[in-house]
Amino acid sequence: MIDIYADLIRRPLYLKKIEPYIGAHLIKVLTGQRRAGKSYILKDIANYIKELKPNARCIYLSTETGDGRTIKTSDELYNYVHSHLMDTADNFVFIDEIQEIESFESAVKSLFAENCCDLYCTGSNAHLLSGELSTFLAGRCIQIHIHPLSYREFLEFYTMENSAEACLLYLERGGLPFLHSLPPEQSFALEYLRNVSESILFRDVIAREKIRNISFLQNLIAYLADNTGSLFSANNISKYLKNQRITMNVQTIITYLQALKNSCIISSVSRKDIQGMKIFEIGEKFYFEDIGLRNCNAKNSYFDDSAKILENAVYNFLTQQNFTVYVGQMGAKEIDFIAEKGQSKIYVQVSLSIADKNTFEREIGNLMNIPDNFPKYIVTLDPLIRTPLPSGIICLHAKDFFMTEW
């Protein structure tokens, strides 16, 4: 049996998502940013299956530890799995960071075609299922994205009550699970975050995407951190760089941005016209998958960027709630987020403070101009919420908004 880590804190949200597919002839793929907790969740799934099926054969393989370090090719992976299968038991195979194995697609296809095991794997690349494997597995796999800790999970990991102070700590540290094991001083967290950021850049971006201009990549990620939530395009970035006496063509910038998205460091959000529901092809916003990694890459101070950090955290929360998210455009006015799920929809404005009357009226006014009756939210860090509010508009402190479930 695969032993549960002694200090494992379960994340039932993901176990609940995977449970309906246990035993189904589908490949289960967990994707997400490195150090977001995929390995722990994969091992927890293995333990859960052993609880359900005590006689099951669970084969766990990590490409970073133990036997997995020596497996470099598809044939080696295929042979290893087959050598550990049992004819007299249900076989479950778990492969952590499968993208580290060259041409792993061939082994996966063969194992799936033979239907000799129930296969689960993780990968730190958004295009893990791209190319030939994506075509082959159409309708044959279920993909689940693993996010860093949500605010609710953060409170559980840190054994904290929901409070304004806990919310500020979350906005400062972010949601990488291992951070809760470190000493409380922020210097330890910052050092860990910098090491993780460097590991992601060199292993999942530079090496995998064959990036040549490392200095520019590092400057680009700092630029994205300092301009979190700003509306721009690759062309805008190119023009900005020219003002800084740096020449970089637009196509190279697009390539580098895509590499950062592939590694799950950042996400891009398109604009959507609220009235016509047209999606604009030019102009996007970029947000970081983890707030802590955003903060450690920024050149601006945390206090100067609090509004940007809050907006990024709201975006992350909405994606964790399985919303499809857009930036709302209404003529010359902007709604920070349109969040859609099935037939439901919410609108969200993010404002660090609404104590100023003009700010309050602007945020309210933008929401009031939306010509439908879906719920409309203002998310703030203000300790005092202005009242009364127009019908259909809800104003919440971030700590309470992050505890909402849809």
- For the cut 70, the answer to whether the pLDDT of residue 69 exceeds it is yes
Q: How many CB atoms lie within 10 A of CB 32?
A: 22
Q: Is the pLDDT of residue 276 over 80?
A: no
Q: Given the DSSP bridges, would you call strands 141-145 and 27-31 parallel, antiparallel or unpaired? A: parallel
Helix, strand or coil for residue 247? coil
Tell which phi-psi region holds residue 23, choosing left (phi > 0), alpha (psi between -120 and 50) or beta.
Answer: left
- What's the fold here for domain 12-145? Rossmann fold (3.40.50)
Region of poorest pLDDT, from 6-15, 307-316, 397-406: 6-15
Instruction: Answer whether 56's CB lies under 8 Å from 88's CB.
Output: no
Half-sphere exposure of 13 (CA within 13 A, CB side): 16
pLDDT at position 7, please?
A: 56
> Given this model, what pLDDT does residue 126 score?
65
- 295-348 per-position pLDDT tens digit: 999 988 777 899 999 999 999 999 999 999 999 998 888 999 999 999 999 999
Q: Which segments of the chain belong to CATH 3.40.50.300? A: 12-145
DSSP string, 300-362: S-TTTTHHHHHHHHHHHHHHHTT-EEEEEEETTEEEEEEEEETTEEEEEEEES---SHHHHHH
Tokens representing residue 234 in the block? 């690759």
Asked if 98 and 122 touch (Cβ cutoff 8 Å), the reply is: yes
Distance CA(80)–CA(75), nearest Å, equals 8
Closest CA to 359 of 370, 369, 351: 351
131 pLDDT tier (thresholds 50, 70, 90): low
